[in-house]
Structure 1
Amino acid sequence: MDAKDSAPEVRNLKQLLQYQDKAVVSRMLVKNSAGSVTLFAFDGNEGLSEHTAPYDALVVGVEGRAEVPIGGVTHLVGEGDSLLMPANITHAIKPLGGFKMLLVMIKGEVK
């Protein structure tokens, strides 16, 4: 969804997406040539396995907590926290119970 395709609207990220049993649920909020913004809700036993991405990604904790290993170093992300995951470095998302996060994918170099 491009921002130009919808009227401005205040949204509560905690309420915008609900947990589903044994699932990872996502909702794309913005997608354009510069990148994307996606909201995720992870059931307590679900996560994202170790992988790399070709772009920098910013994780913003919305609800709950998760361990986010990046290049072998584990970081704890909670509500209101942010963490930059650099491009081409292995990372994963390991929720500690239900966890909601906003993922901002940024195409190009972050300076």
Structure 2
Amino acid sequence: MTTYTHILDLAKEAEPPADGILSRTIHQDDRIKAVIFGFGQGQELSEHTAAKPAMLFFVKGEATVGLGGDAQEAQAGTWVHMPANLKHSIKAKTPVVMLLVLLK
């Protein structure tokens, strides 16, 4: 039996709240965890690290992503790979939908 996850439109999975951040796990198995985030305009995740490598895919909106000592811009279509333990942060300049994939 093959099991899979199919989401036609990621942007509709995490409509950004007017004020705040929402997150929801959309897939998890023994190798990856995929979490969709909706950020209200001006919301931010302060600098933190993850013990495992991760990928960010920006589905909608504009943000500034802190990666180590750098600040990079992100928009719909931006993809980022981060090695384990890289300090990172995200600040939404507009309402943002972002997919986080954690590698286990």
On the 8 A contact 2:5/2:27 being kept in 1, the answer is no
Tell me the amino acid that sits aligned with residue 80 of structure 2.
L
CA distance in 2, matches of 1:87, 1:9: 27
Q: TM-score, normalised by structure 2?
A: 0.90
Over the aligned positions, Cα root-mean-square deviation in angstroms equals 1.6
Aligned pair count reads 103
Tell me the amino acid that sits aligned with residue 47 of structure 1.
E
Which of 25, 28, 34 is the matching residue for 2:25?
28
Provide structure 2 residue ranges, at least 5 long, that are not aligned to the other structure: none
- Match of residue 38 from structure 1: 35
CA shift, 1:11, in A, is 2.1
Taking a change above 3 Å as real, the CA distance of residues 45 and 8 of structure 1, as seen in their structure-2 partners, is closer
Tell me the amino acid that sits aligned with residue 85 of structure 2.
N
Taking a change above 3 Å as real, the CA distance of residues 8 and 72 of structure 1, as seen in their structure-2 partners, is closer
Which of 66, 70, 91 is the matching residue for 1:94?
91
CA shift, 1:33, in A, is 1.7
- Match of residue 73 from structure 2: 76
